[in-house]
Amino acid sequence: MLKYLKEEGLMGARLPLLLCPGCGHGQVLNYTLNAVDRLIKEDKIAKEKFLFISGVGCSSRLTSHYLNFDSGWTMHGRAVAVATGALLANPEFRVVVFTGDGDVASIGGNHFIHACRRNMDLTIVCMNNGLYGMTGGQQAPTSPRDMITTTTPYGNTEEAFDLCQMAEVSGASYVARWTTAHPHQVIKAIMKGIRKKGTAFIEILSQCPVHRKEEPAEMLAAYKRITIPVAKAKEGDKEKILVGEFCDHDKPDWNASYQRVIDRYKSKDV
Amino acid sequence: MKPMPRLWIDERYCKGCLICVEVCPTNAIASSNTINARGYVIPIEQDMGNCKVCSLCELMCPDFAIAIETNTTK
């Protein structure tokens, strides 16, 4: 497996990753490559049909620098917009957007909402570590209340964005949230998201041990402790973070709707 | 006799986060006293007879530095 990852999935000569020790983004890259590998083997999707797009940030360094797939490295927050354009030009592509919380939630928030609304056939993998890691650990829109960051040294006073709820109400086909401590669930969610027609949004809570000043293994254990699956959640579990699949709809994506318009136009013989 | 799986650790890539040691359910991996060229403490195989080849260490390594090799796959 690792031989495959190094020689087929990754540009082995560029390793090691530039990320800090214990960073969750490397784990997400590992899970994604496993998911893509299974899709290539099970669904017989050609390797050339995958396209990875990323913006700017820790998580977005992963695609074009290390992946041995077609990939694009775009402006800050515009990953979803560029992916939309790439998908319109090549509707048969399986476009995967690698993005972070600062990328998709703050500067690229509108692109993200409207991609969900249009139901573009994208798979958005959002690595949420709750702060801006690359610039020094500042407060982000996804920082939970009372979190200590470099710009909120006495605790964050704002509420965090719930990205999964935002994607769901905006109209995404598939929305799921997992953490880096749930490897097999993340792999299944990414496989399902790539197979899904329409926008699939997968939020993965990822640890930033350097800026949170904690041990990576302890943070993984904490993720298991503070999360609860949606199916098992009761009324009293409001303090815990819900993980799991939030919605899974079958509705036409943008390309299917556009094809319908073309067919209707042709049938009128104008 | 069942062939014993072998642990393969790439010292060049390991950053010593020791996630593999924590996630291993059978304590087959342990932290060592060895320090690699970048100054990180690297893990070492402790009791590979316990290893059930769940591949969690391989799957959860952020730096692609660890792999399980079984003789049956060759």
Residue B43 included in any domain: yes
pLDDT for the residue numbered B2: 67
Q: Would you give per-residue pLDDT tens digits along chain B (74 residues)?
A: 667 888 888 888 899 888 999 999 998 899 888 898 889 999 988 888 888 888 899 899 998 888 888 765 44
Chain A interface, Cβ < 8 Å to B: 1-2, 5-6, 10, 15-17, 19-27, 29-31, 34, 180, 183, 209, 216-217, 220-221
What does the alpha-carbon distance between residue A241 and residue A226 come to, in Å, rounded to a whole number?
6
Residue B31 included in any domain: yes
ipTM: 0.90
The chain-wide mean pLDDT, for chain A, equals 89
Residue ranges of domains in chain A, CATH in brackets: 20-267 (3.40.50.970)
Residue A237 Cα to chain centre, angstroms:
25
Residue B37 included in any domain: yes
B67 contact residues in A (CB cutoff 8 A): 1-2
- Report which secondary-structure segment, H or E, holds A248: strand A241-248
Residue A61: DSSP 8-state: G
Q: Domain containing B10 — which CATH number?
A: 3.30.70.20
Name which of A259, A53, A87, A245 is nearest A167 in CA terms. A245
User: In total, how many domains does chain B have?
Assistant: 1
pLDDT for the residue numbered B73: 47
Residues of chain A under the 70 pLDDT cut: 1-9, 12, 235-237, 269-270
Instruction: Choose from B6, B27, B60 for mutation: most chain A CBs within 10 A.
Output: B60
SS3 content of chain A, % helix, strand, coil (to 5): 45, 20, 35
B14 pairs with which residues across the strands?
none
Q: Which residue is closest to A26 within chain B, CA to CA?
A: B62
Residue B1 included in any domain: no
Residue B49's domain comprises 6-73
pLDDT for the residue numbered A60: 87
